[in-house]
Structure formats: C-alpha cells, structure tokens
C-alpha cells in the first residue's frame, strides 16, 4: 500500500495503537537488527500519520473557532 493511500486508510486511533505496539516490541528487544530497523521505519511512518491527523484536526478546530468568532462579530454589529 502506498504511503498516501495508507494514510487515508488509517485513522488516528489505528495508527496510534499500532505505533504503541511497535514501541513495545522495540523496547522489549529480542529482535534482529533487520527487524528492529523495519519496526523503527514503520514507527516513523505511523508517527507521521498521527501528526498529520492531529494537524488536520487542529486546522478544522481553528477554522470552526474563527467562523464562530466571525459570526459573533457580525451578530454584535447588527444590534
């Protein structure tokens, strides 16, 4: 699956939960160098998905708050 497709398919909670599992496996040790590197790379991808999802949520929240302030300012000007 391509990175962009995967990002669209993974929700924040799914990516976060998988990232937690990757970290747990890395901290537990007992994996080969190759497996550890693959886990690290997967963790980096998942962290990017989480960060983008959170940034998107923040942008939507900021836009909603700005629209609310604009509506309040308009309503205040009509009185």
What confidence tens digit (pLDDT) does each residue in 20-59 have?
999 999 999 999 999 999 999 999 999 999 999 999 999 9
Is residue 3 over pLDDT 60? no
Judge contact between 6 and 18, C-beta under 8 A: no
pLDDT band at residue 67 under the 50/70/90 scheme: very high
pLDDT at 6 over 70: no
Question: Whole-angstrom Cα distance, residue 72 to residue 76?
Answer: 6
> Could you say which DSSP state residue 13 is in?
H
Q: What is the pLDDT of residue 33?
A: 97
- What is the predicted pLDDT for the residue at 69? 93
Q: What is the pTM of this model?
A: 0.75
């Amino acid at each position: 699956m391509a990175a962009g497709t995967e990002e669209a398919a993974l929700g924040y909670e799914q990516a976060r939960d998988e990232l937690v599992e990757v970290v747990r496996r890395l901290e537990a040790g007992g994996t080969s160098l190759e497996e550890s590197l693959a886990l690290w790379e997967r963790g980096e991808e998942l962290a990017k998905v989480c960060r983008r999802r959170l940034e998107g949520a923040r942008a939507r929240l900021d836009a909603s708050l700005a629209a609310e302030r604009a509506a309040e300012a308009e309503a205040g000007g009509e009185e």
